[in-house]
Amino acid sequence: SEFGRIVPVKLWKVGRSRDKKLFERELRKDNSDFAVYVLIDASGSQKRRQSLVALQGFIISEALSIVEIPHQVMGFCTFWDYTVMQRYRDYDDPREANQKIFEFSGENGFVLSGFSYEVIINENVISRTEDAVVQIEIPIKKNIAKG
């Protein structure tokens, strides 16, 4: 290459060769072809923290909107034998749609079983054309070891 990081072992070519490639340059692939799937736990256990959970979802969604990363925000819980889903924002919605996240309510329902959880994730990301879909779960739980 004619620009980049100089390669000392090629300096002998200066004035002796028409090959002007004295530099090495690293080309990085643009890895921005991904989407984000945000899941908000809307089970009854979140009732006391619903404003905090909604705020976490809103902040994440706003950040993703600002940098123009496609993302979807969904609330989830189960009620008896039913899985209840609430879409707050879809992948291609305008930034203003982030305000809907404040409609979040952790009123009823239970947390999803592992099976329901897997089905929901697969059904909501399978149609995406990006190379990868990143999942974020809210509330963000800390694993702190006590000892």
The residue with greater pLDDT, 99 or 80, is 99
What integer pLDDT is reported at residue 122 of this predicted model? 58
User: Taken in order 20, 25, 30, 31, is the CA torsion positive or negative?
Assistant: positive
Phi-psi region of 89 (alpha: psi -120 to 50; beta: other; left: phi over 0): beta
Q: Tell me what the pLDDT averaged over the chain comes to.
A: 75
49 has pLDDT over 50: yes
Does the pTM surpass 0.85? The reply is no
Rounded CA-CA distance 120/113 in Å is: 11
117 has pLDDT over 80: no
What integer pLDDT is reported at residue 32 of this predicted model? 64
Q: What angle is formed at CA 49 by the lines to CA 46 and CA 51, rounded to 5 degrees?
A: 115
What integer pLDDT is reported at residue 98 of this predicted model? 93
Check: CB of residue 34 under 8 Å from CB of residue 132. Answer: yes
58 has pLDDT over 60: yes
Neighbours of 95 (CB within 10 A): 13
Rounded CA-CA distance 120/60 in Å is: 20
Q: What is the mean pLDDT of residues 133-144?
A: 65
Torsion (CA) 123, 115, 112, 129 in degrees, nearest 10: -20
